[in-house]
Structure 1
Amino acid sequence: MNKWKIAFWIIVTLNITVLVGVCYLLLSESSPEEPYNTTQVELETNLDNVQLFVDTSTTSAENVINEYITDKMKDNPIKYRVIFNSSSIEIAGIVPVLDTHIPFTLAFTPKIDENGTLLLSYKSVRLGKFKLPVTTVFTYMNDYYRLPEWVIVQPDEKQIQIVFQDIKIAGHSYKVQLTEFDLLNDSIVFALNR
């Protein structure tokens, strides 16, 4: 037998031995010398100053918002969705009028105030091919849309406030604060504070 065949079989045997050993160690049950006792572990937690940051993309945020709208507004005859563009936020939908549906688009410029509230400033409003006065549209929204209490339509200021601090998260006392809203760089960051 030549030396290359012998070297080959030695390497194959070593590989198989290592593979069997690793499989044995991974698959065998471990029996620690001291069993884990959960009553002996004491956790010290201070939940008074908890802060968690959530960083998401505009696409993910748009999907969550539209799912929320679809779920909460399923009985509303006015159907709409939110669209994030590189510099604006649009609310686009349809309004039933007699036997037809007329498309509408509201465009806003977003910015964050010092409290982490999202301010959507009026950019344009269209119903079909017509531009409409923003105060009329915002008044209509206040009167006929069932909006959550944390969405405040302000016709006189020509803006919509989304007050994240007023959002209740599963009955907990967490406060949501928007810390970054950058459509151009596809980044939205929320802080959850307790």
Structure 2
Amino acid sequence: MKWKVLFFGLLGINSLVMALLFFYMFQSSSSPHIPNVSVKGSTFIVQTSKQHLNTLVNDYIQKHGKKGNFSYSVQLADRLYITSAIPVFGKTVDLTMAFDPTVDENGHVVLAHPTMTFGQLRLPVPYVLTYINKHASLPNWVKIDAKHERIYIVVSNIRIKEGFVLKAKTFDLNKNDITFTVTITK
């Protein structure tokens, strides 16, 4: 009889610790400040395709990505997919995030309408985005708005070279129409 009391007491303590852990991990964060950059200078239009942008993004991830146990890749197809394989109990489980990219009036790429799966399990998007925002090492040009289930790619904050400012103009994956403007400020 005494073992039952100890078992249920330990079960209650474990449940309380897990509940507090999930509560702390998935607290919502405030909406990010997304700057509006207005620049003057000579402007050029650069058009690319999904295939070229896939190569460019994944090369950037390999060169500048955080070294560690988790690697990920980005794939532009009918949607923007971010995939990773995460080791869990000696097996790897696929984590897939899919977004519909659009461009806002400030030239930022907005990743909206996300779906997230871990193996076959569909994950709650606001909680995952909050977790990523708090615990992932993201570049300063990636802003997460978990409340509205969006990720902003602040293209103007991506430093390609001193004196060059980049903004997105179109990002239509169905038509394979991806266009940026490059403004030379010097």
**How far apart in 1 are the matches of 2:54 and 2:105?**
23
Deviation string for 1:72-129 (max 9, x for gaps)? 225132211111122x111111122242221011111111100110000133110011
* Pair 1:181–1:91, CA change in 2 (3 A): same
1:163 correspondence with 2:183: no
1:78 correspondence with 2:70: yes
Deviation at 1:177, TM superposition (A): 0.6
Q: TM-score, normalised by structure 2?
A: 0.73
1:134 correspondence with 2:125: yes
Q: Who is 1:42 aligned against? A: none
Q: Who is 1:62 aligned against? A: 54
Q: Who is 1:178 aligned against? A: 168
**Structure 1 residue runs without a partner (length 5+):** 1-47
What amino acid is the match of 2:114?
A: K
**How far apart in 1 are the matches of 2:131 and 2:84?**
15
Among 44, 52, 66, the alignment partner of 2:44 is 52
**Structure 2 residue runs without a partner (length 5+):** 1-39
Partner SS, residue 124 of structure 1? strand
Q: Who is 1:110 aligned against? A: 101
Point out the structure with max Rg over C-alpha.
1
Percentage of matched positions with identical amino acids: 30
On the 8 A contact 1:182/1:188 being kept in 2, the answer is: yes
Partner SS, residue 106 of structure 2? coil
Higher mean C-alpha displacement, 159-168 vs 72-81 = 72-81
**How far apart in 1 are the matches of 2:64 and 2:135?**
14
Q: Who is 1:119 aligned against? A: 110
1:101 correspondence with 2:77: no
Higher mean C-alpha displacement, 70-79 vs 101-110 = 70-79
On the 8 A contact 2:114/2:150 being kept in 1, the answer is: no
**How far apart in 1 are the matches of 2:66 and 2:130?**
22
Q: Who is 2:142 aligned against? A: 151
